[in-house]
Chains A and B, each alone.
Chain A
Amino acid sequence: MIIILIKRILLAIPVLLAVASITFFLVRLAPGGPFDAEKTVSPQVLKNLNEAYNLNAPLAEQYFDYMSGIIVGDFGPSFRFPGRSVSEMIMTGLPVTFELAIYSILIALILGIFSGVIAALKRNTIFDYLPMSIAMIGICVPTFLLGPLLVLIFGINLELLPVSGWGQLPGDKILPSITLGFAYAAYIARLGRGGMLEVLNQDFIRTARSKGLSETQVVVKHAMQGGLIPVVSFLGPAIAGLLAGSFVVETIFQIPGLGRFYVEAAFNRDYTMILGTTIFFSFMIVMFNLMSDLLALWLNPRSRES
């Protein structure tokens, strides 16, 4: 397992370097620059600005400057927010996005596994159809619809929860976590049901039952361990997706997370910010995929032995 770990980490380095290089040149290719605005700046001012950010230098020189910076962890200053470094902005948004991702994945796991396992155990009954239908709706309903709907019901009509914010008013973390977690709960429910159905028909479950174990013991101790491997494999990309894809929820609920920085940086042509966040998200995706692969390996007795 350690060899696999080292191999994967070594493989991650060229991946990240390639992501950084491609992104560097792609953002420069996009039409429009960071200082374009409705009120056009004079050529003299533009020249001054380009000089201030070293954008007048040859592209190759800028590339090597940038790459040597990121090796020591310096992502440069943001073009859009003078006086703030990209690293500082990532570190400001990351804890918030991370917290949101954790709550969402917890909600997703609890709801998803619970309904997935019940659906598998009570196959072809109302306990199967109902949660699976809800799961289908959960997959289909986009967060930009679910979020405002929940706000309308719980925030504006019932006045139970705040309509926006993060850590500013009591309970303001509930609706965004549910909104973001719901779609993932739906996936987990379907994956969990599938995995459980496959395992429940296997010989070792029959053996466990014949030994006289209670149904709870059979399900929790034996069936779930194997049945939920697809869910575990899904968790890595899911957490990475939650981190990078929380933009919509962050916008709907006015959450100061990383997703907003990422998307707004692209709109603003904030070159260093786009690069910094892209590299950072790539790193997170690589790491979470690796972790979920390792966890799945460890959970699966067959691959553990081999």
Chain B
Amino acid sequence: MSKRIYQFFLIFILTACSQTEAPVDTGLITKTFHWGNGTEPQGIDPHIVTGVPEHHVLQSLCEGLTSSNPKGGESLPGAASSWTISEDGKIYTFYLQENGKWSNGDPVTADDFVWSWKRILTASLGSQYPDMLYYVKNASEYHNQEIDDFNLVGVKAIDELTLEVELNNPTPFFLGLLSHYSTWPVHKNTVLRYGAVDDRNGEWTRPGNFVCNGPFNLKSWELNKKIIVEKNPLYWDSKTVDLNEIHYYPVQNVMTEDRMFRAGQLHNTSTLPSNKCPVYIEDGNPNLKIDPYMGTYFYRFNTLNPALQDVRVRKALAYSIDRKKITEKVTKCGQIPAYSFTPPGSNNYFPKTEIPYDVELAKNLLKEAGYDSGSEFPVLEILFNTNEDHRKIALAIQQMWQENLGISVELVNQDWKVYLNREMIGDFQVSRAGWIGDYEDPNTFLDTLRPNRGNNKTGWENPVYDKLIKQANSTIDQKERYKLLNEAEQLLIDEMPIAPIYTYVRVYQLHEDVKGWYPNILDHHHPKYIRLQRD
């Protein structure tokens, strides 16, 4: 009996262990890209989902009026082949691709965009990104049900291939917004075949049902296993598309992802275990990529908290953080110390703000605020979501505040949702935060700290700041606009409702066969430009 079992196992293991080619090797022949995609996408309805993994899949399946430039910077033609902007910067006219087609062969028309924008602005759909279109005339009013007639919203089809969009103000970053998936079109008849216009749970996004206008079609989707997309021969620019298939793997565990990459199962990883980064840098790992990224890691001060109401206290805290030390000794992966909220270089915007690391100045500020020594200051609490990297940074800052100012600091880590909830209801003193830009413009950062913005969470309100941002967004001249935004940024640093700590970098691994993948601060890598080629 046991002999038989033994034989069975031996045969089983020997058959299974027969050497097979790694997926990246076979991918080279079949032109199949194996994409490490972080978490399982919530879905692929561009009007409902939010998140980076969803964006990766959607950019292969659907296309907006403009598409993101693989090298960063100016948007490229997408579903629209060209566009004109009126002199006052408020009216955009888009001319759609003449051979633009949905994956079922229907032509992509201007009406499709009008209907799609109506859908995302329909309140009962519960879309989480309708504000991306709030720059369009009456869009916010329609979404907030202040008006019922969608004809009053500033989007209309002039003819089958011409779309006119009227904005509230000249919005210089509007074209960049259009490469965000929330503005992308959906196929009206397909959506309506599986549910109403506001049905969140319609099955139109399933393989076999899904119709969209991107360079790839949805082939299969196995939950928590992989999503496969295949080249769409009907796409208007299909000659540019080199890949035949992309397999998206939802690998949530970063260590697993790293092992999969090392075993040749992935062409890229979504990120890298933070402790591996310094090791790979030292080893000179050719696959390690450290790219600039439009994101800021910062500490949020609750300005309504009695201990932090005084701007001098907030400044003292911000001035006693040695940012250089944090990036060199704690994060150790190419992060850049941050002295402004907006990362420098976002669409050629370079903030001129400075945050000194000056312990004496910080001590004096604290003294001026009525605390002769740090021991008189109440115990300060740093709130962060449970994560080893956040803990390390919090520990470093705790030590800096204790050593430099003599303040006692307690660290409080919470589960992600509890942390979010406490931030939202203002139940914190100092909390760790991060912000990643949605489009390549400083507005994506500075807008969040305006009054009544859900992401402000600091309790800080300044009408001058609000006015400066509004004024900047009505200014067509980019130089003048950046001047105004810089003033707003300076005001932010003067009042310090947040303390920027470092500018993020994108750290991941990329296989050497991958071509047409360029670093860009939005980390948008359009699959239609990606090729696989072994040198």
Q: Hey, which bits of chain A sit against chain B, CB under 8 A? A: 30-33, 35-45, 48-49, 51-52, 77, 80-85, 89, 92-93, 110, 114, 148, 151-152, 155-156, 159-166, 168-171, 174, 251-257, 260-261, 264, 267-269
Contacts and interface: CB of A to CB of B under 8 A. Distances in A.
Interface in B194-237: 198, 200-203, 205-206, 222-226
Nearest to B417: A32
A288 B466 CA distance: 62
B42 interface: yes
Main secondary structure of the interface of A (DSSP, over half): loop
Contacts of A37: 50, 128, 420
Contact of A151 (B50, B202, B259, B434): B259
A171 B13 CA distance: 8
B420 A166 contact: no
A161 B15 CA distance: 11
8 contacts: A40-B424, A48-B123, A48-B125, A52-B124, A83-B45, A83-B205, A156-B259, A252-B256
Contacts of A83: 43, 45, 200-203, 205-206
B126 A114 contact: no
B127 interface: yes
Nearest to A155: B263
Interface in B5-20: 5, 13, 15-20
B454 interface: yes
B42 to A, nearest CB: 6
Nearest to B252: A251
Contacts of B424: 36, 40
B223 A267 contact: no
A43 B42 CA distance: 22
Interface in B415-474: 415-418, 420-422, 424, 433-434, 454-455, 457
B225 A166 contact: yes
A261 B39 CA distance: 12
Interface in B26-80: 40, 42-43, 45, 48-50
A267 B415 contact: yes
A163 B123 contact: no
A42 B123 contact: no
Contacts of A152: 259
A160 to B, nearest CB: 5
Contacts of B260: 163-164, 254
Contacts of B49: 82
Given A82-B42, A162-B263, A163-B263, A44 B144 contact: yes
A278 to B, nearest CB: 17
B420 A163 contact: no
Contacts of A256: 222-225
Nearest to B2: A114
A38 B455 CA distance: 8
A44 B123 contact: yes
B143 interface: yes
Chain B interface: which size bin? 35 or more
Given A52-B198, A82-B48, A85-B201, 9 more contacts: A32-B420, A36-B417, A37-B50, A48-B125, A82-B43, A89-B223, A162-B263, A163-B256, A170-B20
A49 B126 contact: yes
B18 A267 contact: no
Nearest to B39: A264
B17 A161 contact: yes
A252 to B, nearest CB: 6
Contacts of A169: 20, 23, 265
Which of B5, B43, B48, B251 is most buried by chain A, counting CB atoms within 10 A of its CB?
B43
Nearest to B8: A110
Contacts of B224: 93, 255-257, 260-261
Given A48-B124, A160-B17, A260-B224, A82 B143 contact: no
Contacts of A155: 259, 263
Which of B125, B417, B421, B457 is most buried by chain A, counting CB atoms within 10 A of its CB?
B417
Given A31-B417, A36-B424, A254-B260, A161 B16 contact: yes
B454 A41 contact: yes
A53 to B, nearest CB: 8
Contacts of B2: 114
A42 B454 contact: yes
B265 A164 contact: yes
Contact of A82 (B15, B45, B123): B45
Contact of A164 (B13, B18, B256): B256
B131 interface: yes
Contact of B256 (A41, A43, A160, A254): A254
A219 to B, nearest CB: 12
Given A171-B16, A174-B13, A254-B251, A36 B421 contact: yes
Contact of B128 (A41, A84, A257): A41
A110 to B, nearest CB: 6
B130 interface: yes
Contacts of A80: 42
A195 B457 CA distance: 62
Contacts of A268: 417
For the complex of A and B, the 8 pairs showing the least CB-CB separation, nearest first, are: A32-B417, A171-B16, A40-B454, A256-B224, A256-B225, A49-B126, A32-B421, A48-B126
B126 A45 contact: yes
A83 B54 CA distance: 15
A81 B17 contact: no
Which of A35, A40, A156 is most buried by chain B, counting CB atoms within 10 A of its CB?
A40
Contacts of B123: 44, 48
Given A44-B143, A83-B45, A170 B124 contact: no
A55 to B, nearest CB: 11
B98 to A, nearest CB: 33
B420 A45 contact: no
Given A41-B454, A48-B125, A82-B42, A31 B421 contact: yes
A51 B145 CA distance: 15
B276 interface: no
Given A110-B5, A162-B265, A174 B16 contact: yes
Contacts of B15: 170
A107 B198 CA distance: 50
Contact of B124 (A51, A81, A82, A160): A51
Contacts of B417: 30-33, 36, 267-269
Nearest to B452: A42
A162 to B, nearest CB: 7
Contact of A52 (B126, B144, B205): B126
Contacts of B127: 45, 48
Contacts of B201: 77, 82-85
Contacts of B422: 31
Nearest to A92: B223
Nearest to B127: A45
